[in-house]
Structure 1
Amino acid sequence: MHISSLALGLLAIFVTISAAIPGSTSTAHLNKEYTEEHNGVQYTVFEHANTGAKMSYVNNSGICETTQGVNQYSGYISIGNNMNMFFWFFEARDNPTTAPLAAWFNGGPGCSSMIGLFQENGPCQFYNGSSTPSLNAYSWNTLANMLYIDQPIGVGFSYGDADVNSTVSAAPEVWSLLQSFYAQFPQYESRDFGIFTESYGGHYGPEFASYIQQQNAAISAQKIPGEHINLVAVGINNGWFDSMIQYKAYIDYSANNSYNQILSPSDYSTYMDTYNSKCAPAISDCYNSGTDDSCSSAQNTCYQDIEYAIISSGDFDVYDLRQPYKDPYPPKVYQEYLGNTTVQNAIGAQSQYQECANDANSKFQETGDNTRSFIATLSDVVQSGITVLVWAGDADWICNYMGVLAVANSVSFNGSDDFNSKDLQPYTVNGKETGRYKTVDNFSYLQVYAAGHEVPYYQPATALQVFIQTMQEKGISST
């Protein structure tokens, strides 16, 4: 049901005393705040004057985060006509009034950030086969105020008319959501802000960070109204950054990983021949021409001849090479939980949950977005001085650590030569070795042992430690 239909339950309306956010050229347009009720659930509604965004959310649902005194808000930000993006916000468990703010984005493209919330780094998880969640001691809201966002429209609980068909077109909508969030919760405006993401986040992370920096510059130059976002950190685990590098890594990893060697030496040679004769030339055509057709064609060629062909050759889970194909890990218990009407009403959800939306994914495929490289954008972000971490669980196949390391070594910044020549060192958490890493200046790489695609699920203590270090604008280091 569209948010506008909730007007039948309108209880009160008032205009906020303050004018639009700093940078506005007019004081005539004021933000509006009121309450409304639907299905017995009361929503706070906030209309943001500068962006036209509308926020409708519930307070303290009691779902997931049950720590005494820790507030949470969940609901929608309508960033356009019938364009409703779902968010779920959790205060920090410690010092929320001074703690930084971080946003989490799952990948896909077209997959919900509820994956990260319930299976990776959120305040609760499902343990020992339970159908109800319990508190996660390693939740990232231990340090930061955490914002989980279902994007683009059509993903997770987000619903309405979807107009996003690429990473570049997704960034403005995320920025609009953040602007509306700051307008409603101005206490977070000056806080340090971090973007953390995985998988297709190898596209999302660099582009979202770059777009925020561009908007910050435009705001400073008084070219647009808006709130400056104090972006200090970007973290991307098991990311998909560059097709040329990472399609080759499928072959290298399949033949040389320490868990499950899928390809024999002869198979390896055959796939390398195919990569060099078909896949790599198609990707080069995409990189050189930049057209949707060439990039989409390259995606289809490399998927069929490399990715799908290798996946079809063995019985393994692409997100955890140690698991069989038909036994996905971690378990999907949380999906049944989010399908419960009582839970949906409590968190203010207005649509049925879709973990990964085919429609959203198809739009990205049509533009060949998957094939496009974001190494140059990532390099720009590193060069800007923001603390950046790229990391990967070494049991993941789909965005494996060999490809991520090769991407990291391709990033261009002042310390590139030192970074490329530096050997990986043991990474420890309280004296226990859990990976290998290297850091130069504001850029770090980490390989996490015995972890699949969703690293925080497998190695929660390691994930929390690197999150804290990165948000504190430090290169990661052993403890």
Structure 2
Amino acid sequence: MSKNIPVTAPSSQRANFTGQAGPFDTSTLGIDKVKQFSGYLDDDTKDKHLFYWFFESRGDPAKDPVVLWLEGGPACSSMISIFESIGPARIQEDLSLKSNPFSWTQRASIIFLDSPVNTGFSSSSEAINSTADGAKDLFAAMTLFFNRFPQYGTQDFFLAGNSIAAMDISELAAEIISHPHRNINLKGAILANGVIDYKTQYLAIRPMVCGEGGHPSVLSKNGCQALAAEEPACEKMIQDCYDNEDDEALCQKASVWCSPEKLSALLDRQGTNRFNVHEPCVGDADNSCNNASGQIEPFMNLPNVIQTLGVRGDKTWDYCSVEASKNLTDAGDHVRPHQRRLAKALDMKIPVLAYAGDGDLIGNWLGIRDWTNALEWSGHDAFKKADLRPLKLSSSGKQYGEIKSASGLTFARVFKAGFSAALDQPEAVLDLFERFTKGEWNSE
């Protein structure tokens, strides 16, 4: 158990992550040859225990940036991305492992952390029903991590995650910058097909599925007209939540009436790959139309994996926590205007990259383009005026997307990629990640 370390958080929601279990050396699992370890960051007073798995950079860990990776869902385990997107390995059908040469660990050390509590191997007797409260836990946990492992605390630190994790990242960035005396060297945030401005992105779903996003319509004319008819009422309900974000009933109403779940179910029934319209759905939608996803759960629950990771009690690993997700969605949390907290970070000169695989139908590139253009912050006018230009591989000059940037905000569209662009176009996304973390577009 580490020495007790005071962690500053607002007194109304004070987190007290003062202990840790581990680190447990995980190198025997064969994920990668780099230094790696897992463990828990503990707040024993509130029975909160956040599980993490850390991998050092394959490059120069003393100088390369450190990344905190959070999964979307809400309440899906970040361990998914160790094997499915940015992480160091891929799991084969026989549960053997294959190295990922385009892992972000080529250029960074990464903390994969299960959040909120009761997600993945994290646990608590308490529930979290707001992203803002979850951000306080994350801030306290990261403070403890860098106190426990100060050798990683001087490098540049980036927040990153996919889908609804963009909301967690926005709240956490705002929480971090609210503490002037901190040991977290925050230098930027990366949102992968991030859902953060619910109104703007809801209004981009119909155009995307009805043929305005660079791919033919996947719905009939009547289906598109039905979606259009629902938009005015939903736009008003979401705006009501934006204007009164502390009114849980208003946000719950918008969450129920303006959910894309019915559309997602329709797309699944007709065999459309809503995660990547460029490709057929392999397997089923529960596994993101990607058969490789189906290997992660059995691997993570192998007895030797559980033992090596230092997992407590008899807890088993699931992709996502139904209960933790329900606590957040029932409170209408994902409808709240989390983009306002991201604007605060940008105004404090924290660079943000929002990239999108252009085959994702729901958290789609049109919506991400639109919310970055609409975001109200000091660089709004400069960013909106910036032109899209070709995005090319540094190594070969081959174009893989489009990009625009101004005043610290960068938007990128990645061609022929879906919800998990790092899985579909791994070389391209690694190129994008490396250039952003080196500050290539920060001065534009």
Q: Which runs of 5 or more structure 2 residues have no equivalent in the other structure?
A: 9-14
Query: Any conservation in 1 of the 2:41–2:141 contact (CA below 8 Å)?
Result: yes
Query: Any conservation in 1 of the 2:17–2:141 contact (CA below 8 Å)?
Result: no
Bigger Cα displacement from structure 2, 344-353 vs 467-476: 467-476
- C-alpha separation in 1, matches of 2:171 and 2:363: 18
AA partner of residue 119 (structure 1): E
How big is the shift at 1:63? 2.3
SS of aligned partner of 2:85:
helix
Aligned residue number for residue 11 of structure 2: none
- C-alpha separation in 2, matches of 1:414 and 1:287: 20
Aligned length: 424
- C-alpha separation in 1, matches of 2:150 and 2:254: 45
- C-alpha separation in 1, matches of 2:104 and 2:201: 29
Query: Any conservation in 2 of the 1:250–1:307 contact (CA below 8 Å)?
Result: no
Structure 1 position 348 matched with structure 2 position 314: no
How big is the shift at 1:330? 5.1
How big is the shift at 1:21? 7.3
Structure 1 position 132 matched with structure 2 position 96: yes
Aligned residue number for residue 348 of structure 2: 384
Cα deviations by residue, 1:237-271 (Å, 9 ceiling, x for unpaired): 11111221111111010001344522234432332
SS of aligned partner of 2:356:
strand
Structure 1 position 82 matched with structure 2 position 47: yes
Query: Any conservation in 1 of the 2:25–2:308 contact (CA below 8 Å)?
Result: no
AA partner of residue 354 (structure 1): D
- C-alpha separation in 2, matches of 1:269 and 1:457: 33
Aligned residue number for residue 228 of structure 1: 183
SS of aligned partner of 1:239:
coil
1:138-217 map, 5 Å: 138-215=102-179, 217=180
Query: Any conservation in 2 of the 1:61–1:346 contact (CA below 8 Å)?
Result: no
AA partner of residue 203 (structure 1): M
Q: In the superposition, relative to structure 1, how do residues 84 and 456 fare at CA in structure 2: closer, same or farther (>3 Å)?
A: same
How big is the shift at 1:20? 4.9
Show structure 1 runs of 4+ deviating over 6 A: none
Q: In the superposition, relative to structure 1, how do residues 423 and 269 fare at CA in structure 2: closer, same or farther (>3 Å)?
A: farther
How big is the shift at 1:136? 1.1
Query: Any conservation in 2 of the 1:364–1:370 contact (CA below 8 Å)?
Result: yes
Aligned residue number for residue 254 of structure 1: 209
Q: 1:423 pairs with 375, 378, 387, which one?
A: 387
Cα deviations by residue, 1:361-383 (Å, 9 ceiling, x for unpaired): 11102211011122222211112
SS of aligned partner of 2:154:
coil
Query: Any conservation in 2 of the 1:74–1:89 contact (CA below 8 Å)?
Result: yes
Q: In the superposition, relative to structure 1, how do residues 373 and 330 fare at CA in structure 2: closer, same or farther (>3 Å)?
A: farther
Aligned residue number for residue 241 of structure 1: 196
How big is the shift at 1:107? 0.9
Structure 1 position 122 matched with structure 2 position 79: no
How big is the shift at 1:476? 8.0
Q: In the superposition, relative to structure 1, how do residues 442 and 368 fare at CA in structure 2: closer, same or farther (>3 Å)?
A: same
Q: In the superposition, relative to structure 1, how do residues 180 and 318 fare at CA in structure 2: closer, same or farther (>3 Å)?
A: same
- C-alpha separation in 1, matches of 2:341 and 2:291: 32
Query: Any conservation in 2 of the 1:232–1:473 contact (CA below 8 Å)?
Result: no
1:7-406 map, 5 Å: 20=5, 51-67=17-33, 70-80=34-44, 81-126=46-91, 129-215=93-179, 217=180, 219=181, 227-256=182-211, 257-276=213-232, 278-290=233-245, 291-303=247-259, 307-308=263-264, 311=267, 314-321=270-277, 322-324=279-281, 327=284, 328-329=289-290, 331-332=292-293, 333-350=295-312, 351-406=315-370
AA partner of residue 72 (structure 1): Q
Query: Any conservation in 2 of the 1:387–1:474 contact (CA below 8 Å)?
Result: no
- C-alpha separation in 2, matches of 1:202 and 1:181: 21
Query: Any conservation in 1 of the 2:17–2:42 contact (CA below 8 Å)?
Result: no
How big is the shift at 1:325? 7.9
Whose radius of gyration is greater, 1 or 2?
1
Q: Please report the TM-score for the alignment, with normalisation by the length of structure 2.
A: 0.89
Q: Which runs of 5 or more structure 1 residues have no equivalent in the other structure?
A: 1-12, 24-48, 220-226
How big is the shift at 1:414? 3.7
How big is the shift at 1:420? 1.5
- C-alpha separation in 2, matches of 1:440 and 1:64: 42
Q: In the superposition, relative to structure 1, how do residues 155 and 88 fare at CA in structure 2: closer, same or farther (>3 Å)?
A: same
Query: Any conservation in 2 of the 1:320–1:329 contact (CA below 8 Å)?
Result: no
How big is the shift at 1:415? 3.4
SS of aligned partner of 2:40:
strand
How big is the shift at 1:170? 0.4
- C-alpha separation in 2, matches of 1:289 and 1:376: 13
Q: In the superposition, relative to structure 1, how do residues 21 and 286 fare at CA in structure 2: closer, same or farther (>3 Å)?
A: closer
SS of aligned partner of 2:416:
coil
1:431-442 map, 5 Å: 431-442=397-408
How big is the shift at 1:449? 0.8
Query: Any conservation in 2 of the 1:247–1:306 contact (CA below 8 Å)?
Result: no
Cα deviations by residue, 1:437-466 (Å, 9 ceiling, x for unpaired): 111131110011111111111111111111
- C-alpha separation in 2, matches of 1:449 and 1:381: 28
AA partner of residue 66 (structure 1): D
Query: Any conservation in 2 of the 1:271–1:306 contact (CA below 8 Å)?
Result: no
- C-alpha separation in 2, matches of 1:181 and 1:292: 33
How big is the shift at 1:189? 2.0
